[in-house]
């Protein structure tokens, strides 16, 4: 009876053990399948989102390529027009240049030639125009340079006069050496009757033409700029190029060619495209996509024309696509990139399939594991039948309990209890696995604690830097003098730091009722050290200037002493060998006498009001001057210049020219060109500085600012003095 009772107990315990093992295996397999399904869906979603983000990134990259190319075309065409205006404004400085005649000589690709319209191709008309043509023939050098820059294009650089002649350089395709003029070119062609000429004449400003057919029958577009002097229209400068060559030039510079790429004008028409046929092909007859029969495409075209950036699904010619689009800042167009929806979704489906396959492999492995353990259990039960009923209880605990403990523990950890520790001491792989889980939860908890601490520290530092930036900005004067009925000076300044805090500073303050001190300075380095040295330099410089005006009559003051004393004070204990470049000046607001001293700083520009327009140049400074804070016993020299009513000074730091170009000479010339464009008598000092700052910022659109940018403008006004001068004369 004892044996039968024991045997029955063994069988029951063995059955319960197998049942528990089977339930555990089934639960693990079910959980594995559910986890695989969830992971597969998540992977599919993540892969799809990554693909869409990549497509949008690709569209932005395309926009950058197109923007850079169109910006170069715009700048070069406007530069050519500016050169024509300078030539016309100063004809006495010009020497005639020999230019080819297409009626007498063969014209090769890139040659500049002079063309007369049929209406003026007679001896009397050409003789009347000879002086004007000889004067402006100097523009051929500029046209030759432009041809060299755009040798990969197929198009023409043209300077077309309202009097019927034009200077032209044709850029042909690579395998064409000589220009072949159409049959009726010399009998009917008049540039003044061409659509691009009329487009620019009617617009009255620099603009892009509509798509048109050129003389060779290719779809083309042009950037046209009217030119003239004193508000009088003289003609049109144009760079006309075929659409296919523009697209090829941009593509050859690294533009991504995957999928469908196209450029949409602000009128909703496709101007550039990788497609040669279909809805998105670029042609003269291309429709406004906002009116497309494909509603999804029309809706997104509306957003592209509005200058928006985004991602959406559209249908084009019966095929579903993902469309990513982003604007081109320099010209107001928009770039679109399409990729077939199936190509975007397929990688996500493949990722999901891989995850599901792994889940199925896990389930199959669990099945094998169960079968192996089943046979082990049967063998154990046979041993138990032979040995003692107690063995069955031991086996059940040995095989089932650790797995259940591991499963329950992992589920609790997954619910967020990172303090949970698994206590499994089986001495086999299960114990190793439990130890790994315990180590993982400990490291995860420590990582989360460290992450919270680092985040708090970064927030604290960011708060302190923000406060420091506010304190530094508060030290600079913000209330700028305005002109009154009796005159005075007009001041405005701009400063943008490269770091959270910066080393540039400007300053202006009244010394007495008739004298105002003006300072523009640049501390070596950037960031917090430069900001601290800036505060010290600004304070010492102003204190010395104010002490000087209180100690001596103004007519006896040697203003170079201000820089000498400041230098001596900064040299003391300057172990870090920091320095500051300073341009210091004093303006007599009644007489316009400007006294100045340069301490190693950039010479400011001076604009003279002559015959109703500004003539810009550089104020004279010493060829060699010393920075402040490095060398002991330095002597600085004083200079003076007379400002007349309407004259203006423009001070700046090297962050301005550094943003324009790394070449010092070229950057100063560019800044001078910008001043000539914006620094007009009619514009206020504030408007001039804001326009210049906007122009300079355009050079660093796609890169981080490397140096502080500071500018200060001052215009002298003295209406009372002007009235007295007129009465005397």
Name the token pair of 410.
């992992």
Residues 222 and 260 in one domain: no
Band of residue 727 on the pLDDT scale cut at 50, 70, 90? very low
In this prediction, residues 397-401 reach a mean pLDDT of: 69
Structural domain contains residue 175: yes
186 and 276: one domain? no
Give the sign of the dihedral formed by CA 691, CA 693, CA 699, CA 702: negative
Strands in 605-610's sheet, in edge-to-edge order, are 488-496, 709-717, 648-652, 605-610, 613-618
CATH code for the domain of 302:
3.30.450.20
**pLDDT on residue 67:** 82
User: Do the domain assignments include residue 210?
Assistant: yes
Residues 624 and 645 in one domain: yes
Cα separation, 406 vs 400, whole angstroms: 10
- Rounded to whole angstroms, how far apart are CA atoms 227 and 676? 16
User: What does each C-alpha distance from 118 to 103, 160, 179, 191, 304 come to in angstroms?
Assistant: 12, 14, 19, 11, 44
724 pLDDT band (50/70/90 cuts)?
very low
Domain stop point among 288, 312, 344: 344
Give yes or no for a contact between 392 and 17, defined as CB atoms under 8 angstroms apart: yes
Distance CA 485, CA 719 (A): 7
Asked if residue 28 is part of any domain, the answer here is no
User: Comparing C-alpha atoms, which of 612, 555, 588 is closest to residue 487?
Assistant: 588
Domain containing residue 640: 487-728
Give percent above pLDDT 90 in the chain.
Answer: 37
Range from 289-298, 350-359, 570-579 carrying the lowest mean pLDDT: 350-359
CA dist., res. 68 & res. 50, Å (int):
27
Highest mean pLDDT among 75-84, 146-155, 245-254: 75-84
Residues 222 and 103 in one domain: yes
How long a stretch of residues is the chain? Answer: 729
Confidence band, pLDDT 50/70/90 cuts, at residue 56: confident
Residues 635 and 699 in one domain: yes
Determine contact, residues 335/271, Cβ cutoff 8 Å. no
Instruction: With respect to residue 375, please indicate whether it lies within any of the assigned structural domains.
Output: no
Instruction: Identify the H or E element spanning 504.
Output: strand 504-510
**pLDDT tens figures, 101-129:** 998 999 998 899 999 999 999 989 999 99
Q: What is the mean pLDDT of the chain?
A: 82
Q: What is the pLDDT of residue 621?
A: 93
Q: Please give the Cα distance from 249 to 260 (Å, whole number).
A: 17
Residue 367 lies in a domain: no
Whether residues 221 and 307 share a domain: the answer is no
**pLDDT > 80? residue 623:** yes
Q: Based on the fold, state whether residues 590 and 721 are members of the same structural domain.
A: yes
Is the pTM of the predicted complex or chain greater than 0.85?
no
Asked whether residue 231 falls in the same domain as residue 275, the answer is: no
Q: What is the pLDDT of residues 14-36, one digit of tens each?
A: 677 667 767 776 776 677 667 76
Q: What is the pLDDT of residue 726?
A: 35
Same domain, 534 and 567: yes
Is residue 339 domain-shared with residue 195, that is, in the same domain?
no
Same domain? 233 vs 298: no
**Among candidate residues 315, 344, 373, the one where a domain is terminated:** 344
Hey, which residues does 112 pair with through a beta bridge? 169
d(CA 221, CA 192): 17
- In terms of Cα–Cα distance, which of 476, 525, 460, 467 is closest to 500? 467
> Do the domain assignments include residue 571?
yes
Element (H, E) at 156: strand 155-161
* Contact yes or no for 59/325 (Cβ under 8 A): yes
Tens-digit pLDDT profile for residues 204-222:
999 988 888 777 777 888 9
C-alpha span between 453 and 113 (Å, rounded): 72
Q: How many domains does the chain have?
A: 3
* Beta strands at 605-610 and 580-588: parallel, antiparallel or unpaired: unpaired
312: which strand partners?
A: 323
- Could you tell me the two tokens for 189? 């062609």
Q: Is residue 682 in a domain?
A: yes
227, 242, 257 - which closes a domain: 242
The CATH number assigned to the domain holding 563 equals 3.60.40.10
- Residue 173 CB coordination number (10 Å): 13
Q: Note whether 612 and 527 are same-domain residues.
A: yes
Q: Structure tokens of 379?
A: 């063998």
Is residue 549 a part of any domain in this protein?
Answer: yes
* Per-residue pLDDT, 681: 94
């Amino acid at each position: 009876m004892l044996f039968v009772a024991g045997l029955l107990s063994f069988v029951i315990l063995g059955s319960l053990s197998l049942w528990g093992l089977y339930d555990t295996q089934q639960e693990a397999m079910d959980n594995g399948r559910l986890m695989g399904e969830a992971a597969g869906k998540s992977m599919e979603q993540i892969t799809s989102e990554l693909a869409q983000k990549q497509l949008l990134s690709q569209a932005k990259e395309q926009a950058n390529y197109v923007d850079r190319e169109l910006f170069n075309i715009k700048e070069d065409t406007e530069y050519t027009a500016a050169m024509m205006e300078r030539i016309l404004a100063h004809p006495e400085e010009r020497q005639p240049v020999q230019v080819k005649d297409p009626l007498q000589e063969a014209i090769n690709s890139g040659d500049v030639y002079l063309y007369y319209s049929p209406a003026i191709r007679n001896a009397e008309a050409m003789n009347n125009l000879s002086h004007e043509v000889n004067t402006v023939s100097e523009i051929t050098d500029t046209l030759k340079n432009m041809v060299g820059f755009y040798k990969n294009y197929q198009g023409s650089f043209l300077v077309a006069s309202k009097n019927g002649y034009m200077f032209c350089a044709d850029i042909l395709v690579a395998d064409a050496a000589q220009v072949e003029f159409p049959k009726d070119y010399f009998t009917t062609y008049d540039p003044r009757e061409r659509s691009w000429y009329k487009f620019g004449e009617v617009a009255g400003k620099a603009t892009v033409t509509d798509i048109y057919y050129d003389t060779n029958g290719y779809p083309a577009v042009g950037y046209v700029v009217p030119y003239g002097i004193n508000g009088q229209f003289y003609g049109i400068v144009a760079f006309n190029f075929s659409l296919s060559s523009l697209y090829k030039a941009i593509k050859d510079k690294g533009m991504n060619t995957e999928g469908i790429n196209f450029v949409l004008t602000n009128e909703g028409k496709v101007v550039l495209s990788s497609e040669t046929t279909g809805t998105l092909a670029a042609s003269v007859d291309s429709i406004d996509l906002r009116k497309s029969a494909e509603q999804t495409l029309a809706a997104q075209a509306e957003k592209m024309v509005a200058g928006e950036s985004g991602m959406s699904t559209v249908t084009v010619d019966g095929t579903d696509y993902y469309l990513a689009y982003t604007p081109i800042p320099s010209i107001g167009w928009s770039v679109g990139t399409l990729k077939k929806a199936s190509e975007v979704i397929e990688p996500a489906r493949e990722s999901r399939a891989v995850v599901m396959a792994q889940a199925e492999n896990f389930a199959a492995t669990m099945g094998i594991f169960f079968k192996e353990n089943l046979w082990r259990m049967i063998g154990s039960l046979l041993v138990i039948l032979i040995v003692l009923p107690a063995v069955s209880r031991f086996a059940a605990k040995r095989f089932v309990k650790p797995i259940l403990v591991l499963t329950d523990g992992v589920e609790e950890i997954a619910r967020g209890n990172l303090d949970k520790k698994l206590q499994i001491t089986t001495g086999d792989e299960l114990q190793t696995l439990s130890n790994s889980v315990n180590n993982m939860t400990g490291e995860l908890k420590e990582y989360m604690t460290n992450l919270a601490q680092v985040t708090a520290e970064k927030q604290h530092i960011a708060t302190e830097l923000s406060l420091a930036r506010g304190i530094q900005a508060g030290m600079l004067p913000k209330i700028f003098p305005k002109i009154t009925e009796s005159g005075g000076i007009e001041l405005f300044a701009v400063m943008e730091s490269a770091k959270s805090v910066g080393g540039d500073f400007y300053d202006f303050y009244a010394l007495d009722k008739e004298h105002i001190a003006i300072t523009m300075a640049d501390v070596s380095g950037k960031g917090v050290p430069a900001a601290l040295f800036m505060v010290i330099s600004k304070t010492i410089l102003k204190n010395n200037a104010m002490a000087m005006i209180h100690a001596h009559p103004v007519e006896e003051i040697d203003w170079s002493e201000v820089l000498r004393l400041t230098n001596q004070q900064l040299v003391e204990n300057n172990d870090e060998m920091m320095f500051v470049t300073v341009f210091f000046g004093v303006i007599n607001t009644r007489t316009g006498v400007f006294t100045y001293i340069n301490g190693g700083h950039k010479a400011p520009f001076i604009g003279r009001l002559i015959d109703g327009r500004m003539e810009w140049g550089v104020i004279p400074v010493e060829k060699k001057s010393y920075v402040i804070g490095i060398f002991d016993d330095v002597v600085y020299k004083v200079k003076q210049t007379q400002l007349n009513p309407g004259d203006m000074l423009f001070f700046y730091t090297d962050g301005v020219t550094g943003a324009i170009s790394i070449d010092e000479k070229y950057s100063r010339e560019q800044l001078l060109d910008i001043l000539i464009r914006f620094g007009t008598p009619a514009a206020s000092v504030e408007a001039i500085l804001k326009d210049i700052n906007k122009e300079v910022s355009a050079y660093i659109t796609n890169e981080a600012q490397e140096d502080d940018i500071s500018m200060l403008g001052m215009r002298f006004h003295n209406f009372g003095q002007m009235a007295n001068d007129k009465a005397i004369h």
